[in-house]
Amino acid sequence: MTESRTYAETEFLDLVSYTTHGELLDSVSDYWQNCRGFALATLNLDHIVKMRHMPEFFEAYKAHTHVVADGNPIVWLSRIAGRPIELMPGSDLILPLSKLAAEQNVPIALLGATKETLNLAADHLEQAYPGLRVVARIAPPFGFDPAGDDAASQLRTIRASGAKLCFLALGAPKQELLAARGLELAPECGFVSIGAGLDFISGRQSRAPRWVRMLALEWLWRALGNPSRLAARYGRCILILPGLFWQALKLRYLRN
């Protein structure tokens, strides 16, 4: 527990391994061409809060081959630390990765959400990118355990389907824990954690308007839409910001 807390407070920015969209897409393409699987996580403040108290979540993050910044605070803190990075929320990665998969004839899988959401999202993606093949659609039951036998069975199903890209829409930390496990049980598939991304793609859930996102206020828009669920979460994130700010300054000093 202590080791995880120390890491998350002093070196969490080093978890980000890809800093630009172009760099990320080039790497994914390279992994596919070499028949290698990968796991992609999107770091945000909520994940850092969770990692401070969940060693298994931290270990899952360390196992990921690709980590990008999800949330403007991570981008801002990284700039303070002397390492400029681009914002890459999981929801924003679905379309470019699906487009790349269609261009390279890479079959994909969807895991998470509900069966109806999966079907709507799959139909949307296949229509948007002719040639894209969604070869597996898996809606886990309520109470899904990423470390359980059902999860292992679903990962084997994904492997048998031939999918080389799987979007995981389970929420943190379940999706990241499953992605890390997928590296072992479906080693030729790339797992990408996207949170509510499939709900947005399917139209079952509305995302903040573009102008709200451009003002870096999506968190506020979401909180106002569901205060009972998100107020406490965002409160915990705000509480860790001062410490993270000072740690970013220290990292900048060390890099200089």
Is 190 strand, coil or helix? Answer: strand
Give the whole-angstrom CA distance, residue 174 versus residue 195: 10
Give the whole-angstrom CA distance, residue 52 versus residue 114: 30
Q: What is the pLDDT of residue 230?
A: 76
Mean pLDDT of the chain: 91
Per residue in 165-208, pLDDT (tens digit) is: 999 999 999 999 999 999 999 999 999 999 999 999 998 877 77
Give the whole-angstrom CA distance, residue 169 versus residue 31: 22
Name the phi and psi angles at 25, rounded to 5. Answer: -65, -35
- Across the range 219-235, mean pLDDT stands at 77
Give the whole-angstrom CA distance, residue 83 versus residue 11: 13
Q: What is the pLDDT of residue 192?
A: 98
- What's this model's pTM, rounded to 2 decimal places? 0.92
Q: What is the pLDDT of residue 10?
A: 46
Sheet with 108-112, side-by-side order of all strands: 66-69, 38-43, 190-193, 165-169, 108-112, 134-138
pLDDT of 112 > 50? The answer is: yes
pLDDT of 146 > 50? The answer is: yes
